[in-house]
Structure 1
Amino acid sequence: MKQSWRWFGPDDAVSLAAARQAGASGIVTALHQIPYGEVWSVEAIERRKGEIAAPGFGLDWVVVESLPVHERVKLGEGDLEPIFANYRESLRNLAACGLKTVCYNFMPVLDWTRTQLDAPVPGGAKALRFNIHEYVAFDWLILQRPGADQGHAPEILARARSWFESSTEASRALLLANIMAGLPGAYDRYDVPSLRAMLARYDGIDAAALRANLKRFLEAVIPTAAEVGINLCIHPDDPPRPLFGLPRIVSTEDDIAAILAMVDHPANGLTLCSGSLGAHPRNDVPAIARRFADRIWFAHLRNVAKDADGSFMEAEHLGGDTDMVALVAVLLGEERRRRSAGRSDWEIPMRPDHGHKILDDQGRASHPGYPAIGRLRGLAELRGVMAALEHKQG
């Protein structure tokens, strides 16, 4: 697999030099400065490519993560043809610049969501964590969303209320900031009133409506992606469950099958995120990878440890609940199948997704989940698994 590294652009505290020193050769990035729905110009794409390909690094831009989908598309709101046209033009421009893999997600309002960004790990490391009682406390008692207390066990509601009653304004503000931390790049964060207003726009949008809006998007853009040789890869929901009353439709094996069938073409593909899918108690991630192997164009490899109440924490890459060795074996097997079929695009880019803050990561600025040394450790462990499996195969 192509060993890659997420980089958030020139303002990222973790440099391209660090990515190279970690052993990556591919870079996964986006033009975060461009507002959603606007065209990515050839000039802007080539400028970013030039930064990545600077002499001495030996790096190349291998995956766009993400070419974002405008919120109005998810809402099915208004005349969407100009937005679709701009997305198609961005795809054409990316292809003209040699980019062939584009990741995107269809999560309403928020991206990945955690309640704690510095959960302690034995030995003093820090990890990302989703605490169900903190999420319920925010949704029910801070956001005060009608019906937010429904569907939760009494003990979770009791813990949520206890957290809220003992919280301070500062701890509530920190919880809001943690929940907003998953939004990428320079995207505006919501405060409580603006989040309420955004959620209100989704009144009446259920899972079926959101699926219909995704299908409309795919029908509008996949023909262009196929024409120019780009594979679009949808990212699973993180966490794989409805949040704040919003539907999420990329959470299970059945969800993925339905999406890939909406426009049944290889260009309509999957980003296999083992952490997002692994947070669902009924998902068998290696089995999902096996079923959809021929439509996986990009892989995020990380692990989570789940609690019975629905909470989970980012685990070590080879720890947690997903059999990472089995998963990597599936992906390497798919690469061998593609290579034996004579395909030039046989290699699947992967990146070590998220990582613990360890050693000198602590006290240094970085995007939540994306410290330098924690990801270096994850990439090194995954590289070892790949080398061992390839040696065994050979």
Structure 2
Amino acid sequence: MKMGFRWYGEGNDTVTLDQIKQIPGVESIVWALHDMAAGEEWPMEKILKVKEATDKYGFNLDVVESVNVHEDIKLGLPTRDKYIENYKKTIEKLAKVGVKVICYNFMPVFDWLRTDLYKEAEDGSTALFYEKAKINDIDPMELVNKIASNPDLTMPGWEPERLKNLSQLFEAYKNVTEEDLWNNLKYFLEQIIPVAEINDIKMAVHPDDPPWSIFGLPRIVKDRNDLARLLKLVDNPYNCLTLCSGAIGSNPNNDVPAMIREFGNRIAFAHIRNVKIYENGDFIETSHRTCDGSLDICDIVKAYHEVGFTGYARPDHGRHIWNEQCRPGYGLYDRALGIMYIWGIWDSLQRNK
């Protein structure tokens, strides 16, 4: 298992590369060009600028999260082909700096959804929180304004320029079914995977977060059956998964360790985090520790060890602790603690082989 740490770039992150360098076992920076709109071809000079910054600290750039998929591709519009061509050109450029995995998602409109970015826990820490009842009553635009309220630290998937036309996006998806979305994903993968294979880059889809329909929008990467279907759409070892335990695991019916054991050879990237799920369907993100949430992080890491996982992993969202002022879910302290918890489990499994 190779450990990475998500970083939003110089001037766009409260966490610095020299701080990340001091976290044991972190080899790579999980990165993206966050100022690029979905569908745009990434300029080589911007890619090289990230490489120049990370080379100083000996990090590799093996994992990109994310090269976002344009809504026209998800909608299956005639304009999708030009955006797919841009995606192919970006893949070719990323291969030149050693990228091995591209994490992406196929969620309509919203990449992820929470109702509170700073829900306070009993110990005084705060974390991302999903309140099921509020989703049933809230105006989506109210959520957009809330999540995009800090212009200095934009949230991935909630870029203001993309969501300013929210009503038009909802109108466009009004008659799009899950089968339509499956067909559009198949079209995308049939075009992209051959280019990814030639360039030795694995395309790793992220599950829907949360893994159920929101605001009536179709969602198709929600459970074990969806993962199996997706891998068969284009049955190629470069068509892979980003298995996010916290995203897909927020539905208690999803058995994350079982998915790892079944699909281990097609998991290119692992997001490891815990969530506490309440009986009413609410959930909050917790520390990585098993006893603090509803997911068995010990068994999740054990499952990766059992399948001989040699892919990339990162701690996913962390709590906000010790008065850290940071992008919601992406501070230094709790994610660093998460890495050490994961390594502790992994090292004990290595010793007892």
Q: Shorter-chain TM-score: what band?
A: over 0.9
- Counterpart in 2 of 1:157? none
Q: 1:33 to 1:388 in 2, by over 3 A?
A: same
In structure 2, C-alpha distance between the alignment counterparts of 1:202 and 1:175, rounded to whole Å: 18
Matching of residue 259 in structure 1 with residue 259 in structure 2: no
Deviation string for 1:210-254 (max 9, x for gaps)?
111000000010011111111000000000010111011001000
Structure 1 runs not aligned, ≥5 long: 144-171, 337-346
Cα RMSD of the aligned pairs, angstroms, is 1.9
In structure 2, C-alpha distance between the alignment counterparts of 1:186 and 1:131, rounded to whole Å: 22
Q: 1:187 to 1:99 in 2, by over 3 A?
A: farther
CA drift of 1:79 comes to 2.9
Contact 1:37 1:83 in 2 (8 A): yes
Out of 331, 338, 358, the position equivalent to 2:304 is 331
| Identity over aligned pairs, percent | 38
CA drift of 1:184 comes to 4.0
Structure 2 runs not aligned, ≥5 long: none
Paired residue type of 2:2: K
Provide the TM-score with structure 2 as the length reference.
0.93
In structure 2, C-alpha distance between the alignment counterparts of 1:196 and 1:207, rounded to whole Å: 20
Contact 1:279 1:304 in 2 (8 A): yes
- Counterpart in 2 of 1:374? 334
Contact 1:6 1:27 in 2 (8 A): yes
SS at match of 1:279: coil
SS at match of 1:60: coil
In structure 1, C-alpha distance between the alignment counterparts of 2:345 and 2:145, rounded to whole Å: 37
- Counterpart in 2 of 1:126? 126
Q: 1:370 to 1:90 in 2, by over 3 A?
A: same
Out of 35, 42, 45, the position equivalent to 2:47 is 45
- Counterpart in 2 of 1:15? 16
Contact 1:112 1:182 in 2 (8 A): no
The within-5 A match list for 1:311-326 is: 311-319=282-290, 320-326=293-299
Paired residue type of 1:385: I
SS at match of 1:5: strand
- Counterpart in 2 of 1:70? 70
CA drift of 1:80 comes to 2.0
Give runs of ≥4 in structure 1 deviating > 3 Å: 172-176, 178-187
CA drift of 1:174 comes to 6.9
Q: 1:327 to 1:307 in 2, by over 3 A?
A: same
In structure 1, C-alpha distance between the alignment counterparts of 2:37 and 2:59, rounded to whole Å: 26
Provide the TM-score with structure 1 as the length reference.
0.83
CA drift of 1:135 comes to 1.3
SS at match of 1:359: coil
Contact 2:144 2:158 in 1 (8 A): no
Paired residue type of 1:29: W
Contact 2:126 2:321 in 1 (8 A): yes
Contact 2:148 2:159 in 1 (8 A): no
The within-5 A match list for 1:1-394 is: 1-10=1-10, 11-23=12-24, 24-54=26-56, 57-138=57-138, 142=139, 176-178=145-147, 182-184=155-157, 186=159, 188=161, 190=163, 194-319=165-290, 320-335=293-308, 347-361=310-324, 364=325, 366-393=326-353
Contact 1:354 1:370 in 2 (8 A): yes
Contact 2:287 2:334 in 1 (8 A): no
- Counterpart in 2 of 1:163? none
Bigger-Rg structure (1/2) = 1
In structure 2, C-alpha distance between the alignment counterparts of 1:98 and 1:113, rounded to whole Å: 32
SS at match of 1:27: strand
Deviation string for 1:45-83 (max 9, x for gaps)?
2221111111xx232212000011111100111232211
In structure 1, C-alpha distance between the alignment counterparts of 2:39 and 2:252, rounded to whole Å: 35
Paired residue type of 1:322: L
In structure 2, C-alpha distance between the alignment counterparts of 1:176 and 1:30, rounded to whole Å: 24
SS at match of 2:323: helix
